[in-house]
Amino acid sequence: MATLATVGTTSLLRFQKADPLTASPSPHLLGSLSSQLSGIKLSCNLPDVAPLKSISSPFTPSLQPVARRVCPFTGKKANKANKVSFSNHKTKKLQFVNLQYKKVLWEAGKRYVKLRLSTKALKTIEKNGLDAVAKKAGIDLCKE
C-alpha cells in the first residue's frame, strides 16, 4: 500500500506491507530516505534487524609510503617546464631529478649505507665526504 502526503513544499511517499497481525506500523520500524533533488521523502517498513555493532578499531587503509622524487641531501625536486612542438604549441611537463639508488661507504659507521640521491649530491659527497654533506642536510645516517 502506498500513501502520498504533502507538507508545505515537501512531498512524502510512504510504502507499507500489508501485515495481517498488526494494523498500524510502529514508528521505530519505519525507515526513510529523502531525495535532495526533488524534495520527495520515501519511506518503507523495515523488518526487525539487529542494531549495527561498532568496530573496536578504526579502519585504516593499508597505504604503502611512496618514495618522493626529491633528493634528501640537496633538496632538488621536479621542475615545471613547457614541451614546445614544431608549431610552437606549449604543453606542461615535469623535468624530474636524476635520482639513483647507491650504496655509499660511511667511514664513521664502518659500513655501507644505501641511499637514494641525485647525481649532483653524489658528486658533492665525493668532494666533501658523506659525514659533512649529511650533517649539513640534517640527515642521521645511524637510522638508515
Rg of the chain, C-alpha, whole Å: 33
pLDDT for the residue 41: 54
pLDDT over threshold 60, residue 135: yes
- Closest to 110 measured CA to CA, from 141, 139, 72: 141
pLDDT for the residue 19: 55
- The region of weakest confidence among 12-16, 66-70, 124-128 is 12-16
pLDDT for the residue 67: 72
pTM as predicted: 0.51
The amino acid at residue 134 is: A
Is residue 87 within 8 Å of residue 107, measured between CB atoms?
Answer: no
pLDDT over threshold 80, residue 109: yes
pLDDT over threshold 80, residue 98: yes
Structural domains present in the chain: 79-137 (2.30.170.40)
pLDDT for the residue 82: 97
Higher pLDDT, 55 or 89: 89
- Mean local confidence (pLDDT), 93-120: 93
pLDDT over threshold 60, residue 118: yes
pLDDT for the residue 99: 94
Entry field: residues in the chain: 144
Is residue 54 within 8 Å of residue 62, measured between CB atoms?
Answer: no
